Amino acid sequence: MNRTNYYPETVIVIPTYNEADNLPKIVDEISNLGIRNIGFIIIDDGSPDGTGKIADKLSNKFKGFFKVIHRKEKMGLGTAYVEGFMCAVKNKAKKIIQMDADFSHPPEELISINDLLDSTDIVVGSRYIDGGGVDPNWSLLRKSISSFGNFGIRLLMGLDTRDVTSGFKGYNSYIFDKVILSKLKLKGFGFQAEVAYRCQKEYFSVIEHPYVFIDRKLGKSKMSFGIIVEALSKLLMIRIRG
């Protein structure tokens, strides 16, 4: 197959920072789901554990579309997604699905998300609708922080979507004609709500698809207090300025 002339129908966009143990496993699971004409875009921020090199090896092995974007240092989830989505659009992907590398987003749900994208503009993997949920091992405190945080951001931004901080989402790529990627501002997990806000302003149709968020088994979380402060302060500014 001539990979230079090969356009994927569905592209899975995965940002990675120190995911050496997870990345090969998740690519393997996703590849075996039987989704037609699937491709991958991995955005690695110079992971000290060698995830970038592992991604290159996977790219050489994979038969279809597989791009690895290497950035020198850790620059945040939001900017990684922007580069990944831009690359997907440039390569004429029809559907773009974002997910984490750490198995918190169950790969098997991709089948439904991919199918649902035929009947709606956007699909949001949702923890906060019937059938969705979070890891049963979470303490009541952690569950409360997560759901109140989500509810607070939803209220702040005036969003209809129930799971506004979801990082498990699919888009028909034409939405990025209206939601201008270079204008997105948030670097951390608040990026998810910023995209949800921009999509709602353009009246795109959204279907929420339930999934259960499972805690990572391998590797470490990159969530930090700074990322939460960024989300709240910048989202407030976006809401005020529109």
Ligand X SMILES: Nc1nc2c(ncn2[C@@H]2O[C@H](COP(=O)(O)OP(=O)(O)OP(=O)(O)O)[C@@H](O)[C@H]2O)c(=O)[nH]1
Q: List the single partner that 223 binds among ligand X, Mg ion, none, CB under 5 to 8 Å by kind.
A: ligand X
Stretch near Mg ion under the rule CB under 5 A, chosen from 86-94, 102-110, 147-155, 182-190? 102-110
Choosing from 51, 104, 126, 165, the residue that interacts with Mg ion (CB under 5 A) is: 104
CB of 23 to Mg ion, least distance (A): 13
Distance CA 78, CA 60 (A): 27
Q: Which residues bind ligand X (CB under 6 A)?
A: 15-17, 19, 43-45, 74-77, 80, 100-102, 104, 189, 216, 221-223
Contact between 59 and 139 (Cβ < 8 Å): no
Residue 192 binds to Mg ion (criterion: CB under 5 A): no
From the list Mg ion, ligand X, none, which binds 163 (C-beta under 5 to 8 Å, kind-based)? none
Residue 45 or 109 with smaller CB distance to ligand X: 45
- The listed partner (ligand X, Mg ion, none) that binds 39, CB under 5 to 8 Å by sort, is none
- Record the tokens describing residue 18, joined without a space: 């120190």
Q: Does 51 bind Mg ion (CB under 5 A)?
A: no
User: Residue 36's closest CA among 115, 122, 123, 121?
Assistant: 115
Diameter of the chain measured on Cα atoms: 52
Q: Which of 19, 44, 45, 102 binds Mg ion (CB under 5 A)?
A: 102
> Choosing among ligand X, Mg ion, none, which partner's interface includes residue 222 (Cβ < 5 to 8 Å by kind)?
ligand X
In whole angstroms, the minimum distance from the beta carbon of 200 to ligand X comes to 22
Provide the minimum distance between the beta carbon of 44 and ligand X in the complex, in angstroms, as a whole number. 6
Residue 47 Cβ, how far from ligand X at the closest point, in Å?
8
Shortest Å distance, C-beta 228 to ligand X: 10
The bridge status of strand 95-98 relative to strand 122-126 is unpaired
Q: Which does 128 bind (CB under 5 to 8 A by kind): ligand X, Mg ion, none?
A: none
Residues engaged in binding Mg ion (CB under 5 A): 100, 102, 104
